[in-house]
Structure formats: C-alpha cells, structure tokens
Amino acid sequence: MKKLKGKRELGLFQAVMIGLGGAIGIEIFVLFNYATYLAGSTIVFALFICGIINLLTMLSFSELGAAIPEVGGEYSYAKAALGGFLAFLTGWLRWVSNAFGAALAALGFAYNISYFVPVDMPLLTPLIASIIIVVLTFLSIRGIRQIGPMIVIAFIAFFVILILGGLLHGLEFKIFYPSTLEGASNVFATTAYTFIMFLGMRAIAAGGSEIKAPGKNIPRAILISAVVLMVLYCSIAYVTVSVLSLDDITKSHIPLTLAAKQIFGETGAIILTIAAIIAALSSLSTAIMVQSSITRALSRDGYLPKFFLSTHRRFKTPHISIIFGSIFYILFAATGVVEFVGYVAGFASILGFALVNLSLIRLRMKMPHLKRPFKIPLYPYVPIAGILVSILLLLFIERSALSLGIVFIILSLLTYHVGMVGYNRIRIAFGGMSLGVGGFVALFAYLLRTGYPLPISIPPHLSAIIFCLLIFICAINILAGVLNIVTKSKR
C-alpha cells in the first residue's frame, strides 16, 4: 500500500512549535465566555482537569506517533491497531472535530473583527466567517505557508504579558475549585466544552513523518507542549476571572480583550484583538491543512472517492479535498452559535481520544514486538483511564450537540458500508427512503387540503400554492425513488 510520508526535517523545537501553534489558537478567545457561564470562577480548575485528561491521551499519542510516524495521526494508529469500521470512525471523527474547529476559528475571527467595526447586524458574524473561509481556502490552494515559530513565540509573549500585567494590576481572590456536587458537575461540563483548547497538540503526532528522531522528539514535544499550555491557560483564566466580573465575561464574546482593556487600557485591547485575529487565521489555515490530510488518507484507503487525491496542476496542492472541507466549514459557521459548534467539536475529539487509547491497547496485544521508541508509563492503567474519562466527559456534552454527534456517527456507518455492502444496495435503500418521504409529503398535502388541524398554521391565501408545491415535491420523490430502485448501476 502506498504510504503518504514526508521528509524528516523538523527538530524538537519545531515539533514543540507545531504543537503550540496547533493548540494556541482561537479557542481560548471564543470559548471562554460560555465556559465561565458554566463554571464561574472554577473555570481555572476545569482547564487544569482538561489539561490532565489531554495529557493522558497525549501519552498514548506519543507512543503511537513514535511507533507509527505516518501522515494521518490517529487514523493511521487506528488503522494499524483496530482496522475496519473503528479505524474509519477514528478518521471520520478527526475530520468532524477539525471541521467544527475550523468553523469556530472563523466565528472567532468574525467576533474579533467586530471590535474594530461594531455593526449590529444579526447575520454579519456568519457572513464574515464564511468570507474568511473562502479567502483562506483560496490561499491554501495557492500553497500558503503555515504559522511560523516566531508567531507562536509572539503569542506566548502576549499571554505572559497579560498574566504579569494582571498580577501587577492586583487580583481579587476567588474560589477556583468546586465545593458542591453541582459545582463538580459544572466543572465536567466545562471540561467537555473546553476540551478542544488542548487538542491541537496532536498536530505533532500527525506530522510525525516530518520530525527527526521521532522516538525521542515526538513524546518530548508533546509533553513540553502540554505543560506549557496548562500553565498558560490556567493563568489566563485566573487573571481574567480576577480582573473582570463573571457577568462581564459571560455577556461578552471577547472577554480576554476586555481583560486586556481593564489591565492595559485601549492599547492592550487593540493588541489582544489583533492577536486573536491572527490566532483565528492560524487555526483556520491549520484546520484546512489537517482536514485535507485526513480526507486524502481516507481516500487513499478507498473509503472516499479517489478524486480527493488529485492535486492542482499549477500549485501542486490538494485543491479538491481543500474545497470539499471548506464547504462544510461554511455550513457549520453559518449557524453562528459558538457554544453549539464548540460542543460538537468537543464530542468528536473526546470520542476520537477514546479510540486512540483503545488503539494503543490493541496494538500492544496485536504487535507486541513492534519497535516502540517511547512507551507510556503505567500501562495499561493510563490508556484505560483515558478511555473511561473520555466516556465520562461525553455524558456532559450539551444535548443538541450530542444529537448531531450521533447523526455524524450514523453517517459514518452509512459511508463505510457503502463500500462494504455495495453501491447498488445503498442506492436501492435511498430509493426506498425517497418513496417513503414522497408518501409522507402526499399525506401532508391531503391533510392540508381537507382542512385537518395541523400542528403548524399555513396562511389561508397561501394554502393552494403550498398544496401544489407539496404535490410537485411528492411526485419528484416518488419518481426518484422508482428510478433509484429500478436502475441498475454499472458499478
């Protein structure tokens, strides 16, 4: 099988920069207000727990990344360890998490731009988010360079100055740990919500094929990135909830900017907003790159059509997979609801992390003699703990996000089985569904015509037009159903 491997030219420093560059993105800027709404000042504790849980799985990533240094990250590990549907599901979840992460970055960009251009329009945020996705898609096709190490260092410097400024400003002491059962439950809900703040670190494992001495450098880079992020995020949360009231944080889409304004004045707010905009652009361009890599890996293995592997004639970039992902980013960003997008990204990541831990256990049993330059300590307790905690966190995901997550899993089952049970059977199944939908529309049209009391009210003057429209939709669906059932494909 053809493997997608890159040149090994990145050292430990660059690997850490990849991890921090992937993780220090827009998430801290956009997820903070709702996270504080959930947890109050215990957000500091929630972020600490989040960091620890991420670290558990990052240890598994370290072992797997060093043993299987291939493009594709967790998908490659699951393929080697689990195979079949679970491997496909792991890649699929990574794709979903990445797509919602990209939508979140685009929304974060739009919210921060509104600091400079305060226009009160309900659809302006999704519109700006969609425009920036289109622009970055175009740039990615032309072959945009990823965020450089200097930018990551500049980010860390911004945050350190904010933290030091907050400490000098004088902080009001607040309780940072839960004291009641309800408080503990809120901490877990916040942990599930903020989970994606750390997961960019896995970019190190995903880019394992380009890192020199992967056995040493991948685990070291992951551990260094995890510790830096935990200290940084908890400190930022500590400073922000100390200098601002909880009410101010939860009412604003840009709470960190407000904190910077409180500490350094207008100049501080402007600098932090510019930093947030750069973070959003960085997160979005990284997401486009990672999405394209996952799509190509799934295509290479026959789960998705082969045309995703094709590259642009002039720019040599995978333009079809980039455009494919961007269409979904725009759809998800169009919801304009940060909380929903954040939770769905969290759901996919948490479930994906459970599968990574499962892959590690399975691979140890399946390939005990595989060369493992790094082995996780306290095996099998660490990966088992990773699985259990991931499952626990899923219980705290918001209901509508959980429902959509389950829909994505059903879709993954469907996509996977298209290859397994054959194109024609799936087509016949959809033909049947189309007939059913046609029948349902016909029943609805009949009830509308007979004046039966319906749960929705149709204005009387539009009743005749809607009836005709329903009959047309019914006819199209029935025709489509019949055509799909009777037509035999040449595949």
Partner 1 sequence: MKGRKLIIGFVGATQEAIGALTIVFSYILYHDLFDVQIWLDISAEHVFFYLLLLFVFGFVSIISGFFLLRELSQ
Taking the C-alpha atoms of residue 479 and residue 473, their distance in angstroms, rounded to an integer, is 10
Q: Does 253 bind partner 1 (CB under 8 A)?
A: no
Q: Does 245 bind partner 1 (CB under 8 A)?
A: no
Q: Does 181 bind partner 1 (CB under 8 A)?
A: no
Q: Does 463 bind partner 1 (CB under 8 A)?
A: no
Measured at the alpha carbon of residue 261, what is the angle toward residues 256 and 265, in degrees to the nearest 5? 155
The 108-147 site mask, x for binding partner 1 (CB under 8 A), equals --------------xx------------------------
Cis peptide before 380 (omega within 30 of 0): yes
Q: Does 487 bind partner 1 (CB under 8 A)?
A: yes
Task: Identify the residue among 166, 214, 342, 431 touching partner 1 (CB under 8 A).
Answer: 431
Task: Identify the residue among 153, 164, 443, 483 touching partner 1 (CB under 8 A).
Answer: 483
SS3 211: strand
Taking the C-alpha atoms of residue 193 and residue 197, their distance in angstroms, rounded to an integer, is 9
Q: Does 455 bind partner 1 (CB under 8 A)?
A: yes
Q: How far is the CB of 486 from partner 1 (least distance, A)?
A: 11
Task: Identify the residue among 43, 77, 434, 470 touching partner 1 (CB under 8 A).
Answer: 434
Residues 317 to 336 in contact with partner 1, rule: CB under 8 A: 331, 334-336
**How many CA atoms does the CB half-sphere of 154 hold within 13 Å?**
13
Q: Which residues contact 242 (CB under 8 A, 6 or more apart)?
A: 166, 171, 172, 173, 174
Taking the C-alpha atoms of residue 254 and residue 478, their distance in angstroms, rounded to an integer, is 50
Q: Which stretch binds partner 1 (CB under 8 A): 204-212, 264-272, 317-325, 452-460?
A: 452-460
Tokens 């990541």 locate to 349
Q: How far is the CB of 130 from partner 1 (least distance, A)?
A: 12
Question: Would you give the distance in Å from CA 335 to the centre of its chain?
Answer: 15
Q: Which stretch binds partner 1 (CB under 8 A): 34-42, 193-201, 263-271, 469-477?
A: 469-477
User: What sign does the dihedral 452-453-454-460 (CA atoms) show?
Assistant: positive
Q: Does 443 bind partner 1 (CB under 8 A)?
A: no
Residues 344 and 351: beta-carbon distance below 8 Å: no
Q: Does 400 bind partner 1 (CB under 8 A)?
A: yes
User: Cβ atoms within 10 A of the Cβ of 147, count?
Assistant: 23
Integer angstrom CA distances of residue 381 from 49, 57, 78, 364, 367: 18, 12, 19, 13, 19
Taking the C-alpha atoms of residue 255 and residue 245, their distance in angstroms, rounded to an integer, is 10
Q: Does 458 bind partner 1 (CB under 8 A)?
A: yes
The 206-225 site mask, x for binding partner 1 (CB under 8 A), equals --------------------
Q: Does 377 bind partner 1 (CB under 8 A)?
A: no
Rounded to a whole number of angstroms, the distance between the first and last alpha carbons of the chain is 23
Size of the site for partner 1 (CB under 8 A): 31
Q: How far is the CB of 240 from partner 1 (least distance, A)?
A: 30
Positions touching partner 1 (CB under 8 A) are 122-123, 331, 334-336, 400, 407, 427, 430-431, 433-434, 437, 455-459, 473, 476-477, 479-481, 483-484, 487, 489-491
